[in-house]
Amino acid sequence: MNVTPERVAAEAKWIHDRADVVVPIINDARSELGALFGVDVAAVSEATYREEVAAVFADGDVAVNAAGYVGLLRELDVAGDYPGFVVDEILGRELAATIAGGTPLSLLAQATFHFADVTTHSAGGAGIDDLDAALAAGFQTRLPGWSWRESESPFAVDPERLG
């Protein structure tokens, strides 16, 4: 695979245009996770998703890596699927983490990927359902809507306390 600026732009457009598939997966995951944790989680609109795709791909260092994972997953198909279980899971998990951002969001996105992957069954080969689950996990993690993300952390240290 050759990853050029043109390929990165094409993958970004493909992800942007996949809102009608990915956003329902995001909202299903948020609804199910919210119920499990006893919290209300805001739904995501297709417009919000598309804005966030633009934000992710505006950072060239993130964009090239996300596009590489997307390209690999779009082309991946393993006969019988199970023998390819490891490679598509690793690629999906890493794509979700890349989209979500740094720790702790990257770890949450990886966990959410596995949660979303169990119920995501997209047409198009072994890699496409993992790709859709990864996009949903990464974007749902980085987008607002979780109450714990909407307030200041009680663990932040005031710089004045450091002297």
Tens digit of pLDDT for each residue in 106-156?
999 999 998 998 887 766 665 788 999 999 999 999 998 887 777 788 888
| Residue 151: strand, helix, or coil | coil
SS3 content of the chain, % helix, strand, coil (to 5): 75, 0, 25
| pTM assigned to the model | 0.89
Average pLDDT, the chain: 90
Residue 160 DSSP class: G
Instruction: Write down the pLDDT at residue 126.
Output: 59
pLDDT bin (cut points 50, 70, 90) of residue 59 is very high
Residue 86 has pLDDT above 90, yes or no: no
Q: What is the DSSP string of 65-115?
A: HHHHHHHHHHH---TTSGGGHHHHHHHHHHHHHHHH-STTHHHHHHHHHHH
User: How many other C-beta atoms can be found within 10 angstroms of the C-beta atom of residue 78?
Assistant: 15
